[in-house]
Every structure is written in C-alpha cells, then in structure tokens.
Amino acid sequence: MCDRPDGGQVADFFVPVGASNVQPSDYRFTATHEWVRVAPGERGEAIATVGITDHAVQALADLVFIELPPVGKELKAGEPFGQIESVKAVSDLYSPVSGTVVETNAAIAERLESLPQDPYEKGWMIRLRLTQPAELETLLDQVAYEKLCADQAEADH
C-alpha cells in the first residue's frame, strides 16, 4: 500500500485542512492503513471515527466507488466494514475496533474524489459505538505507523 510515487518518502502526517483542535496523537492506526480516533458521544459513550490514511489514498489512486455498511451493523475488530474501488482494483476496508455502526459518511460516498484532500477529517467513513475499548491499546501510534509505511516502501525497492 505504501509504494508511493515519490520513492517512499513519508509525507507530513496530515495536511491540516480545516484542522481544529485534533492532534496526530489522537489517532491510532492499523497495519492495513485504517485510522481510528475516539471521542465521547452525546451521552458520554466512546464513539470511534474510522477512515483510511493518506498513504492508503495515495497508493490506491483514482478512487471511484465506496461501499459502507448500514447503520446498526455490528463489527468485530479486523472485520471488513466495506470496500473501496479504484480504477485498477478493489480493496476491503477493515474495522480497527469492535463496535456498532452508528453513522456513515454519505458525503464522502457521494464525492469520493474529494477524499485525497482531507482523509483524516472530512474523509471519515464510519462511526462506531465501541464495545471493546481495550482494543485501542493494540493499535499502532503515529510513529509506529509511519515506520511501518517506511519499511514497506523500503521493501518495495
């Protein structure tokens, strides 16, 4: 996923398009290039927002369709929650954590071509009510994720 055209340089973590008070340290990552960020919901419950990383967006290129799950669907960590299609290939999207889908991002499904502009905020895909919050501890932090990408880029050369 990390065979970037720039020869494996890891880009700045994210371009803060409309970045509010979100910090890179708020994010956790999977080896399959999803990100997750947890914030308290209206009733104080833990709500996870999930998307895919800039590295994934760059590697997939030319995104054309996305399929997201219905609200209410229960997901286990590591289970596919949808598919994303580029011109050349289709890829599964894996849930980083277990939970129940409470919201999906219809705007990104309608305007998938805008995903590369802001994959970490406006490009979110699903929101989950966490059922196993401890799973967050098993995910990669920003430093570990960027190292993974750098290692994968290295292996491709």
Partner 1 sequence: MKETPLAAWHRGHGARMTEFGGWNMPLFYGGGILKEHLRTRAWAGLFDVSHMGRFSFHGQRTIDFLRFALTNDAARLSAGQSQYTLLSQEDGSALDDALLYCWPSGEYVLVVNAANAAVDVDFLRAKAQGFGVEIEDRTSRTAMIAIQGPASWEILRLAASALRPEMPGRSRSLPISIRETQAVVSRTGYTGEPIGFEVFVPAEQAEAIWTRLLDVGRPLGIGAVGLGARDTLRLEASLPLMGHEGGTDPDGHPMPILAVPSARFGVNLKDSQRDFVGRAALERQAAALQSLQSGGPGDDAALSRRVRPLAILDAGVARHGDTVVVGDRTVGRVTSGTVAPYWNWALVSNDPDDPPPVANPTSVEEWELADVASRTGKRPVALAYVDARLDESCPPAVLSRGRRLRAKWVERHGRGDVLPYFRPVSPGS
Q: Whole-angstrom distance between the N-terminal and C-terminal Cα of the chain?
A: 13
Query: What gap in Å lies between CA 119 and CA 45, rounded to an integer?
Result: 24
Interface with partner 1 by CB under 8 A: which range of 40-48, 62-70, 131-139, 147-155?
62-70
**Considering the rule CB under 8 A, would residue 62 count as an interface residue with partner 1?**
yes
- Pick the closest to residue 94 from 83, 102, 86 (CA basis): 83
Among 16, 17, 65, 141, binds partner 1 (CB under 8 A): 65
Interface with partner 1 by CB under 8 A: which range of 23-31, 33-41, 109-117, 120-128?
109-117
Interface with partner 1 by CB under 8 A: which range of 16-24, 25-33, 36-44, 57-65?
57-65
Among 43, 87, 106, 134, binds partner 1 (CB under 8 A): 87
> Which positions from 17 to 46 touch partner 1 by CB under 8 A, shown as an x/- string?
------------------------------
Question: Looking up tokens 């920003």, which residue turns up?
Answer: 142
- Tell me the three-class secondary structure of the chain, residue by residue: CCCCCCCCCCCCCCCCCCCCCCCHHHEEECCCCEEEEEEECCCCCEEEEEEECHHHHHHHCCEEEEECCCCCCEECCCCEEEEEEECCCEEEEECCCCEEEEEECHHHHHCHHHHHHCCCCCCCCEEEEECCHHHHHHCECHHHHHHHHHHHHHHCC
**Considering the rule CB under 8 A, would residue 107 count as an interface residue with partner 1?**
no
CB of 152 to partner 1, least distance (A): 15
CB of 94 to partner 1, least distance (A): 15
Among 11, 19, 64, 71, binds partner 1 (CB under 8 A): 64
Residues in touch with partner 1 (CB under 8 A): 3, 5, 61-62, 64-65, 67, 83, 85, 87-88, 90, 111, 113-114
